[in-house]
Structures are given as C-alpha cells and as structure tokens.
Structure 1
Amino acid sequence: MGMYGELRERGFDLVSDTSVADWASRRQSGDLHRVDFQVPAGFEKYCRILHRVHGPSDGGLSDSFLPWSDYAQSVGLAIRPDTRWYEISRRDLRLRSISPDVGGLDKISGPAYLEFIVERLPAEAPIFAGYWDGIQPQHEPGTSFPTARLGVRDYVLFRVSLAALLDAFRSESGFLFDFPALLWPENKSWYLSTEVDYNSTLVGGSEEFIDALLAHEPIEALPIGPDIDLTYRAAP
C-alpha cells in the first residue's frame, strides 16, 4: 500500500477545497528570507524547534537522536535562535559525518509536539496537515491531487482529527511516512511549518502557547523573531 492509502486508512481525508489555506498565504510576508514567510505573520510569538541530531551512539552500535545543545556544549558554543548546525560541526571533525533530520520533525520531537497540543485541543479537533507535492511518494496512477501554494511550494492537504493524527505518529506505532510539513488547527490558533531544506521547524502562536512549547520536554526549541533570516544568505 502506498502513502496515500496509508493516510486514508488512518483517518486522513484529502482536502479538495484548498481555499482552507488562503488565510495563511495571505499573511505570508512575501520575503522568503523571513520566518514569517514560512509561518504566517500576525502571531504573537514564534519559535524554532531544532530537529534532533541523527547519529551513531554506543560505539556506533545503535542510533541516537540527541539535541543540538549536547553537541554545542561539547564544542563550547552557546546556541542562538539563528544558530546553524555547521557552526557546531565545524568545531569538531567527528561531527561532520552526522546531522539533524532535514525536512520534517524527527521521531522524538514529532510525537512530543502532538502530545503537547493534545493538552490544548479536544481529541476530535480538526487539524490540517500538508505534504510538499514535490517529495512525498503519495501519487497514484490516475489520481489527481489538488494543491495549495504556500511559500514557494505546493502542498497536498489533508484534514484529520487530532486523535487520529496522534495515533499515526506515536513513536511506537512503526508508521514510516514522514511527519507533515505543515500543521494547523481549524481555529488557526497556531501554525507549524517545516521547509523541505530546513533542519528545524518553525511555529507561530499565542505568547502563552509558544512559551509553554519552549518549556516542553523533550522538544528543544528557541524563541525567534518573525523577521529572522535562517537561509544561507544570512549565514555567519
């Protein structure tokens, strides 16, 4: 069974009317170098979730997913909201063979984020989930998927209950498809976005929501301004 079939079996309904995303596209800043191009402008506060670093541990016998702070501390670097991974890895040659997950929340941070929002929304709350049309293996012969343009990419959108979304991405479920690139609730109170080339995820929401997310373990997150440039153009 392909990805689309798996999604349908797990309660994901394809969104045919992609105007449900118009509110987000209208609020994008228009400057692709800003945080509020990936996450709509107008939220009270924003943060950046650092994807955990995927590399060997225990002498290379098993995989680890460790926070950036573990490695930054080992090389004597204080992490800023706009720190790039290479600023850490270039200080230790041994770190150049490992990297954070790119393009989606990792298998620790993703379920942790969903557990976080379970505390703030009822289980039946509708959530919109988006997958970049250019990378996810969801197409089926003879099937056309409507897409929404958000930022510089086209996304296939699904509507799913919070309970079904949580069940699909529990770390113990063994479900193998990637975490959605976009998430937002029907009430538009927060918005999560992972650009396919980014090793971190951006979230906008109320001050209370973001402050609580910053304190939620095991997520490693930092507050960030909507005007910050995380692209290579601004790399130190």
Structure 2
Amino acid sequence: MNGGRSRPTGDPFAHLHPRLRRITGGEEQTLLGKLDAVLPQPPGGLLAGHDNRVSFTDVRPGAVGVRNLAPAVFAAYVRLLIPLRGDVHAGDSPGRVSWRELASARGVMIHAETPLRALVPDEDSGALMGVEPLIGSMDPTTTIELAATLAAHTPTPHAVFFLYWGGLGGLQLNSDAVYQGPLDAMRDLYPFADHWFQPPTLWWDQGSSWFVTTHCDATSTYVGGSQELRDALLAHAHLDAIEVDLDTEVDDWTRVPTR
C-alpha cells in the first residue's frame, strides 16, 4: 500500500494531535472500565478482556451473533454492508460497488444474514468480476456518511471515543489504542499521514447513545443505537443498511461454506 516503503513506528495518528488525542495509561484503563460498566457485554464480546481481544475462531463452534460484538443495551441494531472495491456492469459508482448492485446482477435476495460469499464466493471469482471485498474495515465514503448520521444522534459529537485493535496490519501497534476526538475527524483517519484509510474497530460516544463495531474478519459493520438512529441509517441514500437483532449471525469472511 505504500510502494514498498517501510512503515514508520509510533502513534499512527500523531499528526492529528491535538484534534485527535490518544488516551493512555490509567486514563485508558478507567475509560474502558467505565465502558464495560455502562455498556455490558456478554462473554466473548470484543470488549471482554481488553488486552486479549477475541477473534471469531475463539468463540466457535457455533455462529457468532451480533450480541458477541455489540453491547446488548440498545433499542435497535443495523448492519452496514460495506461496498466492494472495483466496478461492475450494473454499478453507477466506479471504484465503489454496493452489495445490492451485485445482488441485482446475480439474482440474489439480500437479507439480515446474507453472506458476502453468496455474491463473491472467493477472491478469484471477485477478480474475475472486477471487485475486491473490503474485510474488517470501511471505505472512506461509508465511514464519513455514517459519522455524519451519528453526529445528529449524540449530544457530544465533538468528543467521541475511537478504539483501534492492536492486531490491525500497518498500524505498528503493540496493543489496542484508544483516542478521543470529534466525529468529523473521521475524514482524516489516514495513519502516518499516508494514503490509506483506516477507520477504528470500535466507536462510541460519551453518553453511550450508540456503538459501532467492525470485526477484523467481518464483511460488515454493526451499529447499535436508538430506533431513530436505525430509521436514519435505513433511509440513508448513500448507506447500504439492513436491520438486524442481537441473534443475527455475523458474516465472517473466513468461514468458507462446505459443499
């Protein structure tokens, strides 16, 4: 992604300071302790064991549900279907192909648990189709549009928490990193001021009005919040959203169907 250059080390978002402030030490531990208390998690959730974050393989056998990734305290939950890179014949946005465009082209009906592999069985078929799945992340457009929508559903859009999982490639993190900053900083999340975009693994606001999670192996982002937020996301012209619940199975790209 960087033309062969070695990645710098240190804080990947130091260039955004003080607008984006990294939280460390005792302040970080206090914050995560309060988060665990305010947003309780069932065992196996992403916030269980902050220093030893679980993966899908850790909670198998059995399907992973939304309740394993998001706190079970919200009135509504939404799955955001992350666009693929590339272009297809049915697409009208070069470089950004929606699930619904692919589904229409392939005659597939989208529902809450539709796996991406129903549209793109593997990387080889994706290459033939001219698309590349974006796994465990979000594209800039989806991230910015989501952030703008969330800003209308929190009293503190200027003070939101962002957590980056320590295992994300390219960030050179030894452990999870937590930041605080405004929601509109989302458009500037280019680590080390480089040209690749990296949204956080988890985001939440000070008042716990909503929670956003993108697991490293997931094909989608999951959002918990109010019914009003759900309605806004489902009605958004530039977000591919579908309502889910806590028992909805999370789509894991690493789970290859058996034939």
> TM-score, normalised on structure 1?
0.78
Match of 2:103 among 55, 64, 72: 72
Is 1:89 aligned to residue 129 of structure 2? no
Aligned residue number for residue 147 of structure 2: 114
Residues 1:234 and 1:226: Cα distance change in structure 2 (over 3 Å): farther
- Check conservation: 2:186, 2:199, Cα contact below 8 A: no
Question: Is the Cα–Cα contact under 8 Å of residues 84 and 235 in structure 1 kept in the other structure?
Answer: no
Provide the identity percentage. Answer: 22
Pair 23,47 (structure 1): closer, same or farther in 2 beyond 3 Å: farther
The structure 2 residue matched to 1:188, chosen from 185, 197, 208, is 208
Higher RCO, 1 vs 2 (CA within 8 Å, ≥6 residues apart): 1
The structural deviation recorded for 1:139 is 3.9
CA–CA separation in structure 1 for the residues paired with 2:163 and 2:100: 29
Distance 2:188 2:214 in 1: 18
- Unmatched 5+ residue regions in structure 1? 148-154
Find out whether 1:208 has 2:208 as its counterpart. no
Corresponding residue number in structure 1 for 2:217: 197
Residue 15 of structure 1 aligns with which residue?
Answer: 23
Q: Taking structure 1 as reference, are residues 139 and 100 closer, same or farther at Cα in structure 2, changes over 3 Å only?
A: closer
Deviation at 1:168, TM superposition (A): 1.4
CA-to-aligned-CA distance 1:48-82 (integer Å, 9 cap, x gap): 10110112458xxx952111001111111110110
Q: Which has the higher strand share?
A: 1
Q: What is the number of residues matched between the two proteins? A: 217
Q: Which runs of 5+ in 2 are unaligned?
A: 1-6, 45-58
* Whole-Å separation in 1 of the counterparts to 2:117 and 2:127: 8
- State the 1:122 CA deviation: 6.1
CA distance in 1, matches of 2:11, 2:95: 30
What is aligned with 1:127? 160
Q: Secondary structure at the match of 1:183?
A: strand
CA RMSD of aligned residues (A): 3.2
TM-score norm. by structure 2 comes to 0.72
Query: In structure 1, what residue type is equivalent to 2:43?
Result: G
Cα distance 1:21–1:124, how it changes in 2: closer, same or farther (>3 A)?
same
